[in-house]
Each structure stands twice: as structure tokens, then as C-alpha cells.
């Protein structure tokens, strides 16, 4: 749940236009996917510099990675044990064989994974969800000519984000109500506990549908209908945003240049 | 003026009538209390006032515009604001200010005007300073006031409220009711569904519904004097026979 939760602060990164941040995250992600060793070093330094600017503590960054840490460990181990090549360590009795290639490959993939998660988390930690939605909407707007309803998508995302905590509350309430009537979600075999949890699914779904019905009425009552609408905040690029965009573009040029040389 | 003329409503063709020929007039600036036992059709009735429901028979008009006129429906919904019973399912914004901005945004107002309305309306309900709060962190009373602010931001002439004081503690209830009374004093027409008759002491007209029909209408004193009739439909009469302020 804490994956990259917004951290209120007033830094250069926080103040940036969400569009600049989203574009930067996309660009960085592309570079992370295909990074060569010198690029890895540059991107890592760049990310560390940005983290410094956001004034996020190491603990906060670690907290953003923590939910996906088990997957990262798993990916690392799979590459470590199952890559063919020069054995570094072999224990035939346990049929374990670690290769140098496996170690390199595992480290690389784990770095990629961590890089992507941190890049994404930097965006969500420094951008209010509503600004994020606004940014996505504005970036998608040119595509509305080819039939992508950017404003509807924005309303949908906003609604999903709004109702997430409410559904969690609802889930808790239903679980408590069932526990009060003797349901047991904590003991017994895994299969038994899984079955107990499925009894929560239908009341939760019903509650969600009922809410959706009420919500539609409330939205209509406030004049909502498909099509153009306006918002509280109109995004406007300032000097800082253009500067950040330039920095990001320069960084991309350097990375591309490096690739051409090598 | 909102006119409800011989309205019959049925949710499904086979289902029984929920409203059975209701006629009612709501004047600008008036305060109408709507009371009646559970399931008598109060909520169904107010959903007709802004065209969320269409009459099976009869008609409803708002300042001369029929609610069946699809070209006028947005203007009708702007004029007749509606605060539903459950605030949780009518707050659509991720933050308090975004929620208040939802209605004006639907009206297509420029950002600067939306900003102005958000600030004015949050000030009006005493929620200035909570602009950035996510709605799920608000108290029950604050959620009601937020849904009221969201409706006020549409600049309505009439506001229909469905049990705005339900499930609130004493302080929360008092705060919400005080805001409603103030809006009325400032000229807003109020249609207030209430369960507890003491909540609608400020109303200048009380309308009693039972099984889809209006059975009684008049000033508070006139209606609460009819103790026998009220008790017969399962309503408690406030002690002393009249409303308590």
C-alpha cells in the first residue's frame, strides 16, 4: 500500500509540472531497459541526484522498494542459479551451480527492476494524485482526435483512486462483521483460510456495485456528462519546467551519444 | 418555482407505484420539510426534482423547464442541487477542493472562476483550510458539509437534502442544520427530508408523505397538531405537540 505514497514537501521536483515528470519517467524507463554498463553508472548517479533534490530520506526510498523486494530477490536468484556459463561455485551434491554470467546477469536485472520502481516512486512521491491525473489527461489530450477520451480516462482514474481507500474500509467492515459471527480468517490450513476469504468477495462486490450506482446518480446530479469539462487547475509550464525539461533532454542526448561511440 | 404535477412513479413496469399521484409546489426561497415513514417515497420524490428520475405519469417543471426536456437538463441540475443521504458515495474528488470543483468543472467554467467558487463555498460551510485533505480522512459531519459545498458551487436556487443529519453525533448534526438554516435565511429554497421532526423546526412548510401520497401539508404547528394522523402512519410527534427550536 505504501508503494511510492505522496510525501508532501516543497522542492523543485515537487513543484515541477506533472507532464515534465511523467515524460521524464517514461524516457528514463526506456533507457533503464537497454542500459549498458557506463549508462548504468550515469543513470544511477542521475537518480541519486534527483532523490537528493526531493529531500526524500533513504528510509523513504527503501520503503518504496520494500513491497517489491521479494520479487527482486526472486529474479536475482533465478538468474544466479539458472544462467549457463563459467562456474564460480559448484555444489553437485545440492545440484547448485553459480556462474559468473549468472551473477552479472542477476545484478543487472535486479538493478533494472529497482531503477524502474524508484523512478516510478519518485514521480508518485513528489506529485499529488490529482496533479498526476491532470498531467496524464493533458498528455493524452492530443490523442482525443483519434478517439481516445482523455477527459473520461482522467475522471475514471481519479474515481478509482478515490474509491480505493473506501473499498478497503468496506473490506475491513465486512471482515469484522463475519468475524463477529464466528468466521475465522487467521487459523487453519492455507486452503481453509483462502476459502474463508472468498466469502468476503461477494458482499464486497455487491457493496462496490451499489456504490457505483449511487455514484452515477450523484455525478449526474452535479451535471456530469461525457464530453469536455474544465478543471480547478490548468497546467502551465513555467521557467523551472522548461529548465527541467532541458536537463532531461541533455541527459538523454548524452546517453544516446555514449551508445553511438561504443 | 418547482412544480410537481400528479406524478406517478414506478421503478419497473411490473412493480407497484412508489409515487401515487403527487402534486406539490416549491416556491423560491421557501423551506419545505418532507417527512414520512421509511419507504414512503420521499427519496424517490426528490430525485424527480432535478430529473434524475422521470415520472411514469404526470410531470415536473423547474422554473418552467420540464425535467423531460433533455436540452434543459443541465440547467435544471444546476438550479436544483441535491445532497444525497450517503456522503461517501457522492464525494468524487481525490481532495476536498477537487470535489467542490467537480460541479463547476462540469459546467465548463474557467479555472479562475472554479477557484473562486471553491474558496467561497468551503468558507461558507466552514471548511476553509481543509482544501488538500483526502475525503476519507474527514469526519461524518465534515463529509456532509463537503457534499453541501459541492452542490453550492453549482450556484443553485434550490437544494434538496436527503436526511442530512442522519448518523451524525449531536455536534455534527447541529453544525449541518445550522448551515442549512443560514442558507435559507440567505434566500436559498430548501427541500429537507427528515426523520426527526425536531430537525426541521425552521421549515415554513411541512409536508407529510405516506405510501407514495401526500397526506398532510401545512405550517409546522398545523401539521404537528394532527397528532393522531401522524402516529397512525408511524411518526413520532415532538413532545409538546409543536416543533422545538
Mutate to test the interface with B, among A152, A209, A232 (most CBs of B within 10 A): A232
Helix (H, G, I), strand (E, B) or coil at A36: coil
Comparing CA positions, the residue from A233, A252, A27, A247 lying closest to residue A123 is: A27
Contact residues, chain B, for A220 at CB < 8 Å = 52, 77
Cα separation, B141 vs B170, whole angstroms: 10
Q: B21-25: which pairs have CB atoms within 8 A and are 24 or more residues apart?
A: B21/B58, B21/B213, B22/B58, B22/B209, B22/B212, B22/B213, B22/B214, B23/B58, B23/B214, B24/B207, B24/B214, B24/B217, B25/B1
Overall number of domains in chain B: 1
Mutate to test the interface with A, among B93, B98, B132 (most CBs of A within 10 A): B98
> Which pLDDT belongs to residue A1?
43
> Which pLDDT belongs to residue B115?
95
> Which pLDDT belongs to residue B243?
47
Cα separation, B11 vs B13, whole angstroms: 7
In a domain, B238, yes or no: no
CATH number at residue B96: 3.40.50.300
Comparing CA positions, the residue from A100, A66, A73 lying closest to residue A84 is: A100
Cα separation, B230 vs B68, whole angstroms: 34
Paired with B205 in beta bridges are B32
> CB-based contact (8 Å) between B111 and chain A?
yes
Q: Which 8-state DSSP code applies to residue B238?
A: P
Among chain A, residues having any CB pair with chain B shorter than 8 Å are: 128-130, 133, 158-159, 161-162, 165-166, 169, 211, 214-215, 217-225, 228-234
Q: Which of A129, A223, A230 sits opposite B111 (nearest CB)?
A: A230
Give the structural domain span for B102: 2-232
Q: How far is A4 from chain B, CA to nearest CA, in Å?
A: 17
Mean pLDDT of chain A: 87
Strands (DSSP E) contained in B69-227 are: 80-83, 158-162, 189-193, 205-210, 213-218
> Which pLDDT belongs to residue B245?
44
- Element of type H or E holding A29: helix A18-33
- The number of C-beta contacts closer than 8 angstroms across A and B is 96
Domain extent listing, chain A: 1-142+235-262, 150-226
Cα separation, B207 vs B226, whole angstroms: 12
Contact residues, chain B, for A158 at CB < 8 Å = 92-94, 98
CA B211 vs CA B34, B57, B231, B236: distances in Å: 13, 17, 15, 17
A254: Cα within 13 Å, side-chain hemisphere: 14
Helix (H, G, I), strand (E, B) or coil at B66: strand
Burial B89-123 (b: 16+ CB within 10 A, else e): bbbbbbbbbbbbbbbbbbbebebeebbebbeebbe
In a domain, B207, yes or no: yes
Q: How far is B122 from chain A, CA to nearest CA, in Å?
A: 14
pLDDT tens figures, B130-160: 998 888 889 888 999 999 999 999 999 999 9
> CB-based contact (8 Å) between B120 and chain A?
no
| A194-203, A250-259, B99-108: segment of lowest average pLDDT | A194-203
More confident site: A87 or B84: B84
Report the phi/psi class of residue B16: left, alpha or beta, with left for phi > 0 and alpha for psi in -120 to 50.
beta
Mean pLDDT of B47-72: 94
Contact residues, chain B, for A215 at CB < 8 Å = 89-90, 92
Cα separation, B99 vs B138, whole angstroms: 13
Q: Which 8-state DSSP code applies to residue B97?
A: H
> CB-based contact (8 Å) between B140 and chain A?
no
pLDDT tens figures, A27-74: 999 999 888 888 899 999 999 999 999 888 888 888 888 888 999 999
Q: How far is A135 from chain B, CA to nearest CA, in Å?
A: 15
> CB-based contact (8 Å) between B131 and chain A?
no
Residues ≥6 apart with Cβ < 8 Å to B39: none
Mean pLDDT of B9-23: 93
Q: How many residues does chain B have?
A: 245
Cell of A68: 517489491
Comparing CA positions, the residue from B80, B74, B139, B127 lying closest to residue B100 is: B127
Residue whose C-alpha cell reads 434524475 in the numeric block: B52
In a domain, B245, yes or no: no
pLDDT tens figures, A172-199: 888 888 888 887 777 778 888 888 778 8
Q: Do B134 and A215 touch (CB under 8 A)?
A: no
Q: Residue B9 — φ and ψ, nearest 5°?
A: -135, 140
Q: Is the pLDDT of residue B241 over 60?
A: no
In a domain, B170, yes or no: yes
Mean pLDDT of B162-166: 89
Cα separation, B94 vs B90, whole angstroms: 12
Q: Do B84 and A221 touch (CB under 8 A)?
A: yes
Q: Is the pLDDT of residue A163 over 90?
A: no
Residues ≥6 apart with Cβ < 8 Å to B122: B96, B97, B100, B128, B130, B131, B149
Residue whose C-alpha cell reads 492530443 in the numeric block: A142
> CB-based contact (8 Å) between B171 and chain A?
no
Residue whose C-alpha cell reads 522498494 in the numeric block: A65
Q: Is the pLDDT of residue A262 over 80?
A: no
Mean pLDDT of B59-81: 93
Contact residues, chain A, for B132 at CB < 8 Å = 128
In a domain, B62, yes or no: yes
Q: Is the pLDDT of residue A253 over 50?
A: yes
> Which pLDDT belongs to residue B244?
45
Amino acid at each position: 500500500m505504501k508503494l511510492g505514497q505522496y510525501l508532501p514537501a516543497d522542492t523543485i521536483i515537487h513543484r515541477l509540472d506533472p507532464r515534465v515528470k511523467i515524460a521524464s519517467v517514461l524516457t528514463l524507463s526506456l533507457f533503464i531497459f537497454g542500459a549498458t554498463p557506463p549508462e548504468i553508472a550515469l543513470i544511477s548517479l542521475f537518480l541519486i541526484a534527483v532523490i537528493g533534490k526531493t529531500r526524500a530520506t533513504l528510509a523513504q526510498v527503501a520503503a518504496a522498494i520494500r513491497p517489491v523486494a521479494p520479487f527482486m530477490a526472486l529474479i536475482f536468484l533465478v538468474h544466479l542459479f539458472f544462467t549457463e556459463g563459467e562456474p564460480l561455485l559448484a555444489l553437485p551434491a545440492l545440484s547448485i551451480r553459480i556462474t559468473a554470467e549468472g551473477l552479472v546477469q542477476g545484478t543487472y536485472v535486479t538493478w533494472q527492476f529497482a531503477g524502474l520502481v524508484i523512478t516510478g516512486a519518485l514521480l508518485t512521491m513528489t506529485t499529488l494524485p490529482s496533479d498526476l491525473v491532470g498531467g496524464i489527461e493533458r498528455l493524452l489530450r492530443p490523442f482525443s482526435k483519434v478517439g481516445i477520451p482523455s477527459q473520461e480516462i482522467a475522471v475514471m482514474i481519479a474515481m478509482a483512486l478515490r474509491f480505493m481507500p473506501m473499498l478497503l474500509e468496506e473490506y475491513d467492515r465486512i471482515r469484522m462483521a463475519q468475524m463477529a459471527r464466528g468466521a475465522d480468517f487467521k487459523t487453519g490450513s492455507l486452503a481453509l483460510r483462502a476459502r474463508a476469504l472468498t466469502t468476503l468477495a461477494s458482499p464486497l462486490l455487491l457493496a462496490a456495485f451499489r456504490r457505483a450506482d449511487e455514484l452515477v446518480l450523484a455525478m449526474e446530479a452535479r451535471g456530469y456528462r461525457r464530453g469536455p469539462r474544465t478543471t480547478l487547475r490548468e497546467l502551465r509550464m513555467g521557467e523551472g519546467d522548461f529548465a527541467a525539461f532541458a536537463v532531461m533532454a541533455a541527459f538523454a542526448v548524452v546517453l544516446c551519444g555514449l551508445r553511438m561511440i561504443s | 418555482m418547482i412544480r410537481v404535477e400528479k406524478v406517478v412513479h414506478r421503478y419497473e413496469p411490473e412493480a407497484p407505484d412508489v409515487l401515487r399521484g403527487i402534486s406539490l409546489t416549491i416556491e423560491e426561497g421557501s423551506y419545505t420539510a418532507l417527512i414520512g415513514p421509511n419507504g414512503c417515497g420521499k427519496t424517490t420524490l426528490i430525485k424527480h426534482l432535478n430529473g434524475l428520475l422521470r415520472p411514469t405519469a404526470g410531470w415536473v417543471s423547474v422554473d418552467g423547464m420540464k425535467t423531460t426536456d433533455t436540452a434543459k437538463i443541465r440547467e435544471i441540475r444546476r438550479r436544483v442541487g441535491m445532497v444525497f443521504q450517503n456522503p461517501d458515495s457522492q464525494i468524487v474528488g481525490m481532495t476536498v477542493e477537487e470535489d467542490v470543483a467537480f460541479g463547476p468543472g462540469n459546467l465548463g467554467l474557467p479555472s479562475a472562476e472554479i477557484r473562486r467558487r471553491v474558496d467561497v463555498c468551503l468558507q461558507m460551510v466552514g471548511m476553509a483550510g481543509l482544501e488538500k485533505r483526502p475525503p476519507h480522512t474527514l469526519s461524518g459531519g465534515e463529509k456532509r458539509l463537503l457534499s453541501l459545498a459541492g452542490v453550492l458551487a453549482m450556484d443553485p436556487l434550490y437544494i434538496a437534502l436527503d436526511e442530512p443529519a442522519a448518523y451524525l453525533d449531536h455536534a455534527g448534526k447541529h453544525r449541518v442544520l445550522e448551515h442549512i438554516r443560514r442558507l435559507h435565511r440567505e434566500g436559498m429554497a430548501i427541500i429537507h427530508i427528515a426523520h426527526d421532526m425536531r430537525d426541521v423546526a425552521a421549515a415554513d412548510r411541512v409536508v407529510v408523505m405516506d405510501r407514495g401520497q401526500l397526506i398532510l401539508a401545512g405550517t409546522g404547528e398545523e401539521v404537528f397538531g394532527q397528532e393522531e394522523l401522524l402516529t397512525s402512519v408511524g411518526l413520532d410527534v415532538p413532545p409538546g405537540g409543536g416543533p422545538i427550536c
